[in-house]
Amino acid sequence: MILTVTLNTALDVTHHVPKLIPHASHRVGAVTERPGGKGLNVARVLAALGHEVTATGFAGGRTGAFVRELLAGSPRVTDALVPCAGTTRRTLAVVDGASGDTTQFNEPGPQIGSAEWAAFLDRYEELLAGATAVALCGSLPPGVPVGAYAVLVRAARAAGVPALLDTSGEALRRGVAARPEMIKPNAAELAELTGSREPLQATRDARRRGAHAVVTSLGPDGLLAATAQGAWQAAPPRALTGNPTGAGDSAVAGLLSALAEGLDWPARLTRAVALSAATVHAPTAGDFDPRTYEEVRGSVKLTAC
């Protein structure tokens, strides 16, 4: 079983409009609602790849109840969300049909009390006992300690479970010092962590800060990895247009699934890039286009650095 953690679970709402015009009213052509937050997106992609997944984090209020109702319909995903008194946040994505660009609005999330955080930690340690790997993903809701991911990484290490951390800011800075198996920042998050805007130098510097491996998202240029076995850049064969929301989460699912299957780094990066590209061609985060995935997987450009 692969465990995913989404402390700031969300209901993802996506609106499709013909063209997004500031200060104007819009007719929405289509609306989708999905369980969201980075870890739940990762969970759905892992399940689509055939892995059994358990999803934990917080859920509360009517929005949280709806997220759990929707999650119950996800094959191979087990709901282990922990109740909280506050209401689960919503995120709103507006997809511009003319340009393909997406505008995102993210609510902050519910206030988490100390007793709720303690209950989550107990549940997390129970779930680690049956996990082969764990993904720790996304922002922290209000009330959760800024060092939360460092605590979760250390607990995973104590249980012998490799942890992949995908967050930003101070939560990433503290989390990487706890020595996770892997971190997956984007270029901006990496620059904030290291102070360097040269991607390869910054990726290697982040690894020296504690992570066993660092995989950096370079947007349309793919992924850059620094590991104990070497450094590579993996890129799709061509630029893809579409909705990039969730592409990074699909990359996390690719990396984690390949880790759980014992694949080497070139194979991990190839899968992650192909899934990320295939998500750009999917209508919502947590999905990927199977045809694009197979096409890109066979033609990823892998370069040793």
User: Which positions are catalytic?
Assistant: 249
Distances (CA, A) of 181 to 129, 156, 165, 175, 254: 17, 10, 8, 11, 15
Buried residues in 7-39 as b, exposed as e (16+ CB within 10 A): bbbbbbbbbbbeebeeeeeeeeeeeeebbbbbb
CB 51 within 8 A of CB 3: no
In which order are the strands placed within the sheet that holds 102-106?
A: 30-36, 10-17, 89-96, 102-106
Determine the Cα–Cα distance for residues 101 and 278; give it in Å rounded to an integer. 16
Half-sphere exposure of 275 (CA within 13 A, CB side): 29
Supply 176's token pair. 């990487």
Determine the Cα–Cα distance for residues 275 and 32; give it in Å rounded to an integer. 21
Determine the Cα–Cα distance for residues 40 and 299; give it in Å rounded to an integer. 28
